[in-house]
Structure 1
């Protein structure tokens, strides 16, 4: 069975971009991306496969469009 991770933008500041994310619609974790370096971290400190997958999708879209998406889903 595959993994479905969803994220929604909660803040897009100049120093950090913040997303709520989790499995399906369980937005129980916070992802923080530095827009100048694209380095990412999670507030709970557990940068696991779900965090990595959704970060890769968000950063990929940012690289192609120049904007952080309001919502993103990874299904894999």
Structure 2
């Protein structure tokens, strides 16, 4: 069974980047990525497969482009 996780950047202050994310455009969770360490946390404390997958896509995009993307989609 596949999974589709979408994320949109909502805030990008100096030290952390915040994304709303969820399954199929249901942006019901918050992901926070530290700009210095690239450590990711989820506000609800449940860093599950969906959080891991979208974090990997966002960080890979940052590594390629040099900036955190406005939107990201993971589909498997």
TM-score by length of 2: 0.98
**1:36-75 aligned within 5 A:** 36-75=36-75
Q: Which runs of 4+ in 1 moved over 3 A?
A: none
Q: Counterparts of 1:11 and 1:26 in 2: how far apart (Å)?
A: 18
Which ranges of structure 1 fall in alignment gaps of 5 or more residues?
Answer: none
Number of corresponding residues: 76
Residue 5 (structure 1) aligned with residue 25 (structure 2): no
For 2:59, what is the secondary structure of its paired residue?
helix
Residues 36-72 of structure 1 show CA distances to partners (whole Å, capped at 9, x for unaligned) of 1100000000000000000000000000111000000
**Root mean square deviation, CA, Å:** 0.4
TM-score by length of 1: 0.98
1:31, distance to aligned residue in structure 2 (A) = 0.1
